[in-house]
């Protein structure tokens, strides 16, 4: 992506501007909240296909996220191949069984009880798409030499948030899954050692019988998650 000879600063006029009144800003913020509060982590999917173009558009949104030094230290592997999804599910469930058999610790497993999760992960094969998020710890210049990426976890987390919002905005459901360890994903997807898998996201349409845990509807009020320091 980067060429050493282009690493210099050049200013451009701000290409896009939004000029809203205070009332319009409030309406836009409230409308986005109303959209996002309807997002739920869904574990029950149909096999209804989702066009690749929809996934690609959401990934372009993710790629527009801010990042340390604009290095964009992420890669998203989008998978619809049934055999590959099955391989990922088998490996992920093996890791999950070890977790639920005691590897996760009593406190962590107890904390998950209200969510109702188990080592059984059918969504990994039923959902039409899996998106594996990779964090790139370093990159290479056009001449093959290595450069360091900065604020990698922060940058990848922001991009992943963009992706989840874009998928929800497109009418899709998602479920984030973080088997640990996830190194098997590098080999399964042909990704280099410079990249660390951070998450598997199942993407698709909810099954008619889909449910969510009751506790998922309990959100902290604004006064618990935010502080205002006004002049």
For position 94, which CATH number holds? 3.40.109.10
Q: Quote the pLDDT of residue 87.
A: 94
Q: Quote the pLDDT of residue 182.
A: 81
The pLDDT tens digits of the residues spanning 152-189 come to: 999 999 999 999 999 999 999 999 998 777 888 999 99
8-state DSSP, 196: E
Q: Quote the pLDDT of residue 179.
A: 72
Cβ partners under 8 Å of residue 183, min gap 6: 197
| 183 domain-assigned | yes
Report the distance separating Cα 41 and Cα 13, nearest Å: 40
Confidence of residue 99 (pLDDT cuts 50, 70, 90): confident
Domain encompassing residue 172: 40-212
Q: Quote the pLDDT of residue 30.
A: 98
- The whole-model pTM stands at 0.94
The pLDDT tens digits of the residues spanning 9-19 come to: 889 999 999 99
Q: How many domains does the chain have?
A: 1
| 168 domain-assigned | yes
Report the distance separating Cα 201 and Cα 79, nearest Å: 10
| 129 domain-assigned | yes
Whether the per-residue pLDDT at 71 is higher than 60: the answer is yes
Helix (H) or strand (E) holding 93: helix 82-98
| 64 domain-assigned | yes
Higher-pLDDT residue of 144, 212:
212
Confidence of residue 8 (pLDDT cuts 50, 70, 90): confident
Contact indicator for 138, 147 with CB cutoff of 8 Å: yes
| 195 domain-assigned | yes
Paired tokens of 198: 């951070």
């Amino acid at each position: 992506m980067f060429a050493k000879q282009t690493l210099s600063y050049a200013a451009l006029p701000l290409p896009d501007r939004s000029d809203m009144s205070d009332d319009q800003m409030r309406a836009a913020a409230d409308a986005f909240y109303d959209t996002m509060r309807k997002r739920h982590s869904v574990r029950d999917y149909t096999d209804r296909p989702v066009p690749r173009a929809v996934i690609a558009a959401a990934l372009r949104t993710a790629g527009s996220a801010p990042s340390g030094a604009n290095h964009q230290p992420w890669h998203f592997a989008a998978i619809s191949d049934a055999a590959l999804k099955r391989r990922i599910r088998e490996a992920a469930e093996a890791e999950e069984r070890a977790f639920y058999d005691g590897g996760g610790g009593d406190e962590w497993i107890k904390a998950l009880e209200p969510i109702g999760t188990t080592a059984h992960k059918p969504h990994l094969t039923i959902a039409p798409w899996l998106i594996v998020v990779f964090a790139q710890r370093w990159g290479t210049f056009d001449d093959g030499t290595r450069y360091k990426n900065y604020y990698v976890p922060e940058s990848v987390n922001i991009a992943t948030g963009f992706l989840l919002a874009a998928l929800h905005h497109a009418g899709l459901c998602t479920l984030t899954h973080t088997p640990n360890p996830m190194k098997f994903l590098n080999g399964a997807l042909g990704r280099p050692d410079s990249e660390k898998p951070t998450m598997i996201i199942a993407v698709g349409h909810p099954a008619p019988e889909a449910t969510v845990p009751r506790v998922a509807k309990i959100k902290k009020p604004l006064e618990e998650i935010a502080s205002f320091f006004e002049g």
